[in-house]
Structure 1
Amino acid sequence: MAVIEFINGKNSTLSALERVLKYIMNPAKTEVGLIGGYNCVADKAYNEYYMTKAEYSKLNGRQYIHFTQSFAPYDKVTPEMVKQIADELVQMEQFKGFQIAYAVHTDRDHLHTHFVVNTVNKETGMKWKQSAEQLQMMKDYSDEICKKYGLIITQGKSGNHVNRGEYRSKEKGHSWKYELYLAVKKVKWIARSKEDFIANMKTLGYQVDWRDTRKYITFTNGEGKKCRNRKLYPPEHFTKEALLKAFELNSQRMDAKLSRNKMEMLLSAVQLVKMDDPLETGKNYPLSTLEGEALKEKIEESKKGKGLNWDKESENSM
């Protein structure tokens, strides 16, 4: 999979902004079909960035954010595919209102995309801010996009490939927001109603504030940390409407007993992680530890002796 890396540089002057935009669109490194613009026209990006900054009287300070999305030499990707992945990445909620010029570079043995973000939001005038959690969510979102293209995980500039468990522990580490994302994602396909969803999330240690009078759902973990559903990616999968539609489908295809059994299996798997982890490195992040094949293995382990019938359940439901 792709590696996201932010590039620090002398980005406090308009001349530096102009240089970096020229650099990423250098015809010796890319070509017209591999250049894109989000909320801007790429070849007019400098003027458009300047106009936004001037409109909000924010011509001073940091002028741009520069980051790359890189693929290993052995990744089976084409320049066009890398451009498509970049097109999807800039659709993140985090980038809403920001102008981004980007280009796929083909002059190295590994394909990579350069992104240059205007630090002033075109819609709000607010300046760019990014927390450690938001950075991790960007990397996770990049992973999700790449998974659709069947790409393996890469780690660091060297492009060494590792299994997903190693990647999560070394590259990502444990993120409370990512743990929440996994919880919501799994319970979404177990719950048969809004009330069922809230109850199931509670058993996993989360409080859910879902009110008809509020646009967003707020999740609170056991440590009191809060996150709204619009911060989960891709956000359109976790809107109230998307969740209610999933509950309706769940209700149509499985009865209450099977729904309870599925939740019991998930809880049993989580408990097994905690029991098998004497150092408690994953105690607060059991679902992150249980990603992919690890979850299936724990589910199978937890099924032994319980006599619960999950044979007809599809992998997608978990």
Structure 2
Amino acid sequence: MAVIEFINGKNNTLSALNRVLKYIINPAKTDENLKGGHNCEVNTAYNEFFMTKSEYSKFKGRQYIHFTQSFAPYDKVTPEIVKKIADELVQMETFKGFQVAYAVHTDRDHLHTHFVVNTVNKKTGMKWKQSAEQLQMMKDYSDEICKKYGLIITQGKSGSHVNRGEYRSKEKGHSWKYELFLAVKKVKWIARSKEEFIANMNALGYQVDWSDTRKYITFTNGEGKKCRNRKLYPPEHFTKEALLKAFELNSQRMDAKLSRNKMEMLLSAVQLVKIDNPLDTGKNYPLSILEGEALKEKIEESKKGKGLNWDKESENSM
């Protein structure tokens, strides 16, 4: 799994900004196809950063943020995959409106990407601010992207590594957080209200603590394990606001009869999984089978062609 590390230095001058931008695109360290820019062109980033600062007359204080995303030297990841991971990372809500220049370096025994962020937002003129919580969200988001590629992960502060085969086995054996993610993701596009969402989650064995006086929603599974909605990814898709917007869209698109039918099919799918658990782990994770076409075929067979089309609603609209 990639490690995110912020680099502290004398980053309060324009000359330092110029130096670090030249450093990350050094042809001795990277190739042209391994460079990227978010809200800017990587090779002209200094001029673009400067123009943004000039537009808002903000030249005081920190001029840039510099961090790296590094991979284990014995992971079988390619520079091209590392570049794709970087491309996805800068799409985080954290970087919205900010200019980011980045490049994958191949000159060491481990692949790593350097990111340089302009501290002045191009769209709003606001300065970059990042709390410890936001930093952790970025690291967690990086982990989620890496999981898609089956990369080596690290455990604990010691940084001990688990190989890809072990990781996949662990994921299949007890991925309760992933199971929760599947549940919320699917029920999100069924419910037409907060109350209906909570009731549907309850039907799947989850308790939902959604209070207007608290910032986050807390989910508790049947084993008593808790997880807040900010830990689901991408987190901006599972905020209270995002969920309420989805409920409103569902209400516009579905009448009451269709909504009841979908929930009935969902519960039927749960029973199907309990009878034939594809993970064979002894755990009762009813929604894991909902991933992929294999489940759709099973449900279609059990319902004689009345398949459960989860993807009919455009989840990307959020």
Band the TM-score falls in, shorter-chain normalisation:
0.5 to 0.7
The amino acid across from 1:207 in the alignment is W
Q: Which residue of 2 aligns with 1:233?
A: 234
> Aligned equivalents of 1:257 and 1:55: distance in 2?
53
The amino acid across from 1:204 in the alignment is Q
Q: Quote the sequence identity (%).
A: 64
Q: Which residue of 2 aligns with 1:316?
A: 291
Q: Which residue of 2 aligns with 1:269?
A: none
Deviations 1:145-198 (A, max 9, x none): 11111212135999641489xx9xxxxxxxxxxx99985653333564233213
> Aligned equivalents of 1:234 and 1:86: distance in 2?
18
Alignment of 1:195-214 (within 5 A): 195-199=195-199, 204-207=207-210
Deviations 1:242-265 (A, max 9, x none): 6766x9798655517927978xx9
Mapped contact 2:12–2:62 kept (Cα < 8 A): yes
Deviations 1:78-136 (A, max 9, x none): 11111111011101111000000000000011100000000000000001111122111
Q: What's the secondary structure of 1:55's corresponding residue?
A: helix
Q: What's the secondary structure of 1:140's corresponding residue?
A: helix
**Aligned Cα root-mean-square deviation (Å):** 4.2
Q: What's the secondary structure of 2:291's corresponding residue?
A: helix
Q: Which residue of 2 aligns with 1:188?
A: 185
Q: Which residue of 2 aligns with 1:62?
A: 62
Q: Relative to structure 1, is the Cα distance of residues 220 and 148 closer, same or farther in structure 2, using a 3 angstrom cutoff?
A: closer
> Aligned equivalents of 1:156 and 1:163: distance in 2?
15
Mapped contact 1:190–1:259 kept (Cα < 8 A): no
Alignment of 1:75 onto 2:78: no
Q: Which residue of 2 aligns with 1:20?
A: 20
Alignment of 1:95 onto 2:70: no
Q: Which residue of 2 aligns with 1:271?
A: none
How many residue pairs were aligned?
A: 253
Q: Which residue of 1 aligns with 2:53?
A: 53
Deviations 1:1-32 (A, max 9, x none): 11111111110111110111111111110011
The amino acid across from 2:284 in the alignment is I
Q: What's the secondary structure of 1:98's corresponding residue?
A: coil
Q: Relative to structure 1, is the Cα distance of residues 67 and 87 closer, same or farther in structure 2, using a 3 angstrom cutoff?
A: same
Q: Relative to structure 1, is the Cα distance of residues 140 and 228 closer, same or farther in structure 2, using a 3 angstrom cutoff?
A: closer
> Aligned equivalents of 1:107 and 1:158: distance in 2?
25
Q: Which residue of 2 aligns with 1:279?
A: none
Alignment of 1:154 onto 2:154: yes
Q: Which residue of 1 aligns with 2:284?
A: 299
The amino acid across from 1:129 in the alignment is K
Alignment of 1:115-130 (within 5 A): 115-130=115-130
- TM-score, structure 1 normalization: 0.65
Gaps of 5+ in 1: 168-178, 210-217, 266-292, 301-309
> Aligned equivalents of 2:229 and 2:266: distance in 1?
30
